[in-house]
Structure 1
C-alpha cells in the first residue's frame, strides 16, 4: 500500500500539465488512435494547460498585490489565512487514505458507463483531490460519533456520491459547453459546476426581466461600445481602475494596466490549443463508442481551463475581486481574509454556464454568491488547519488558521460534509443539502430538455 501511495504521489507531483496528458494519451491508444496522433494530442494538451496556468499565475501575481493594497488601506485584519486552492490540495493529499480515491473514481465511472447512466469518460483524474477535500471534512465531523474506521467509511461513501453527481453534471452541461466553447466532444467534470444548480432558480427569475433576457455576451458588448470592448483595451481600462483603487503611482498603475491587457488578450489564444488537442481525441472516442455501443456518444470530461477563451469568465472574475474584498470587510460571520484565492474561477465558471454567457446576469449572480465562499471558507478552517498541523503538510504559526476563499462548489461541499452535524442537533446543513439536491434535479431536467430540443432542430 505504501508503494502504491508513493507511485500515486509521484505522478501527482508531476502536475496537471503532465498527469492529464498522460491519461489522454493512454485513452487515445485504448480507442485505437495512431500512436503519433495520441502523443501529439497529449503534448498539445500539456502545452495548453501550461499556457493557461502561466497566464492565470501571471494574472494572479498582477492583481493580488493590488487587492492586498486595497485591504491595507482599509486597515482590516481577519484571523484566517487564505491559502488558495493549491494549499488546500496539498493539505488534502496529506490525508493517509487519499490515494484510494483514484480507484473509487475509476470504478464508479466505468460502472456508470457500462450501465448507461453517464456518457462521460472522466479524464480529469488529477482533480480527484476535490473528493478528498470533502472526505477530510466528513472524517473530522463524524469521527467523534463513528470512531476512526466508521468516519473513514462514511467519508468514502460521501465521496462516491459526489463522483456520481460530478458525472451527471458533466452530462447535463455538455451540449451547453460545446455551444459556448466551440469544442466538440468534451465537458467539464470539475465540481465547481455544482454552484450553477443553486444559481439556476435565481437566473430563471432574472430572465423574466426584459432587460436581462437578451443576448449580452462579450461579442454583444463589443457591438455596444466598439473598441472599448476589445480584449486589450478592456484589460487596460480594468487595470487602470484597479491601480486607482489600490492607490498606486501613475507608473505602477500603467504597468498594471498593460499586464491586465496582456492577460485578457492571450487567454483566447491559449484556448485554441485546447481545441487543437481535444478535437482528434473526442472524434476517436466517439468513433470507438459508436462501434462498441450503438447509438451512444462518449464525451471526455476535463478540468475547466479549456473554457478559458471565454472573455465573459475573466470579466466576471475581475469584477468579483473588489466585490469579494468589500464583503470580507463587513460580512457577518466571516473570519477569512481573501488573498490567495481572490482570482475566483469557481464563482465565474458556474455563472457563465447557467446564464449561457450573459454578462449582466453573470455579474448579478457573482455579487449574490460571493459571500457564500467567505462563509464556507470560514466554516472549513478548523478542519483544514487541524489536518495541516497533524500531517505537517503546511507550516503554520502558533494560533494561525488556514482555509480557502474559493472552495469549489462551496454549497455542495459544505452540505455533503456538514450534513452529519444533525448528530449534534444542527439541522441547517441538512436543509441546505435538500435545497441543493432539489435545485440540481430541476437544473438537470432543464438542461436535458434544452439539449433534446436543440438536437431535434
Structure 2
C-alpha cells in the first residue's frame, strides 16, 4: 500500500499540465485512435487547460485586491477566515484518507463502470480532494479510518451519478460533446439548482421567459457583447472601490479579456476532446450496443459561458453582503471569494443559460455555502493544526467556502451516530442512485 500511495503521490505531483495530455492520449489510444491523433488530442486539451488557468489568474490578480478593499469598506469583523481551496485541499490530502484517495477513488470509479452504475470516467484526479475532505471529516468525528474511506466512496459515487444526470445539459450549454462534470463540490449544487429550476417554472413570468447572454447581446448590440460587458463591469467595480483612472481602466480591460479569452480556451479543449468523443462512440457502439461513456472533467471548463463569469463577478459583493446579514455565518469570505464563478458552474447549464435564474440561484447557494463553511470551521481548524498547516497571518480559526458542500454536511451528521451513521450513509447513497436513475435532467428547453 505504501508503494501504491507513493506512486500516486508522484503522479498527482506532476500537476495538471503534465498529466492531462497523458491521460487524454491514453484514453484516445484505448478507444483506438491512431497514436498521432491521440497525442494531438491530449496536447490540445492540455494547451486548453493551460490557457484556461492563465486566464483565470486574471481573477486572482485583479479581483483579489478588489476583494480586500471591499472587505475593508464593508468593515467585516468575522471570527473565521476563509483560507481558500488550497488550504482545504492541503488539509484533506494531508490526512490518512487523503494519502490513499487517488487509487481508492479510481477503484470506486472502475467498479461503478463495471456494474453499469455510471457512464463517467473521472479523470479530474486533482479534485479528488473533495472526496478526501468528506472522508477526513468523518474520520475526525468517528476516529475511524475505515468510516472515513466509506464517506469518501459515498461522495464519489454520488458525484459520478449526478455527473451522468447533468451531462446532457452541460454538453448542450457549454458546447463540448462527450463530457460530464463529476467535480466533488460542483455536483453537490446540482440538486439545489434542479429544485430551484422547478420552482421558477411555477412563478408567473419565469416559465416562458429566458434572458441569456445571447438575448442581452441582441438588445444592446455591440455594447452587449461579453467583452464589452466585462469592460463596463470592471470599470464600475473600479469606481466603487475608489480606484484612480489608470487602475479603473486596467480592471475594465482585464475583465474584458476574461470574458473574451475564457470561451476561446474552452474551444481549444473542445477541439481536442471531439476526436476522443467520436472514437469512444464508435468503439462502444461496436462492443456495447446502446452504451455511452463520458469523460469527467473539472468544472473549470464551464466557466467560458458569459452568464457564468458575469454572475460570478457580481456575486463577489453579494457574498460580502450575505456574510454581514446571515445570523449563522461566522466566516469572513476571502480566499475563495475571487472564485465565486466556480460555485455557480452548474447553475448555468441547469438553468439553460438564463441570467436571472442563475443570479438568484447563485445568491441562494452562496448563503448556504457561508453557513456550511462556518459549520465546518472547528473541524477544519483542528485538522489543520494536527497536520501542521501554516495558518494565514492573524488567523486562529479557518475554513474554506469550497469546503461548504451538502454531501459532507449530511455525512458529518450521520457520522455522529457512529455505526448507525454508517448504515445511514449507505442508505443515503443508495437513495441518490435510485432517485437519479434517469439518464438526464434535460427537462423543458424554454
Residue 330 of structure 2 contacts residue 374 of structure 2 at CA under 8 Å; is this kept in 1?
yes
- How is 1:47-196 mapped onto 2 (pairs within 5 angstroms)? 47-143=47-143, 151-191=144-184, 192-196=186-190
SS of the residue corresponding to residue 81 of structure 1 reads strand
How big is each residue's C-alpha offset from its partner over 1:178-232, in whole Å with a ceiling of 9 and x where there is no partner? Answer: 2112221111111212212022222212122342222321101112222222122
Alpha-carbon distance, 1:112 to partner: 2.3
User: Is 1:267 the equivalent of 2:262?
Assistant: yes
* Number of the residue aligned with 1:46: 46
- Structure 1 residues 226 and 388: CA distance shift in structure 2, 3 A: same
User: Is 1:354 the equivalent of 2:350?
Assistant: yes
What is the alpha-carbon distance in structure 1 between the residues aligned to residue 257 and residue 288 of structure 2?
46
- Structure 1 residues 4 and 36: CA distance shift in structure 2, 3 A: same
What is the alpha-carbon distance in structure 1 between the residues aligned to residue 258 and residue 248 of structure 2?
15
How big is each residue's C-alpha offset from its partner over 1:300-336, in whole Å with a ceiling of 9 and x where there is no partner? Answer: 1111122222111101201111110111122212121
TM-score (norm 1): 0.89
Residue 193 of structure 1 contacts residue 349 of structure 1 at CA under 8 Å; is this kept in 2?
no
- Structure 1 residues 440 and 257: CA distance shift in structure 2, 3 A: farther
SS of the residue corresponding to residue 400 of structure 1 reads coil
Match for residue 416 of structure 2 among 418, 421, 428: 421
What is the alpha-carbon distance in structure 2 between the residues aligned to residue 252 and residue 344 of structure 1?
22
- Unmatched segments (≥5 aa) in structure 1: 144-150
Alpha-carbon distance, 1:399 to partner: 6.5
Question: Aligned Cα RMSD in Å?
Answer: 2.7
* Number of the residue aligned with 2:334: 339
Match for residue 244 of structure 1 among 218, 239, 256: 239
What is the alpha-carbon distance in structure 2 between the residues aligned to residue 415 and residue 321 of structure 1?
27
* Number of the residue aligned with 1:406: 402
TM-score (norm 2): 0.91
Range with bigger deviation, 42-51 or 77-86 = 77-86
Alpha-carbon distance, 1:447 to partner: 6.5
User: Is 1:232 the equivalent of 2:224?
Assistant: no
Match for residue 370 of structure 1 among 355, 358, 366: 366
* Number of the residue aligned with 1:26: 26
How big is each residue's C-alpha offset from its partner over 1:23-62, in whole Å with a ceiling of 9 and x where there is no partner? Answer: 2222222222211211111111111111111111211221
- Unmatched segments (≥5 aa) in structure 2: none
- Structure 1 residues 323 and 441: CA distance shift in structure 2, 3 A: farther
Alpha-carbon distance, 1:272 to partner: 0.8
- Structure 1 residues 205 and 398: CA distance shift in structure 2, 3 A: closer
- Structure 1 residues 381 and 19: CA distance shift in structure 2, 3 A: farther
How many residues are matched?
439
Residue 389 of structure 1 contacts residue 396 of structure 1 at CA under 8 Å; is this kept in 2?
no
Alpha-carbon distance, 1:239 to partner: 0.7
- How is 1:281-292 mapped onto 2 (pairs within 5 angstroms)? 281-292=276-287
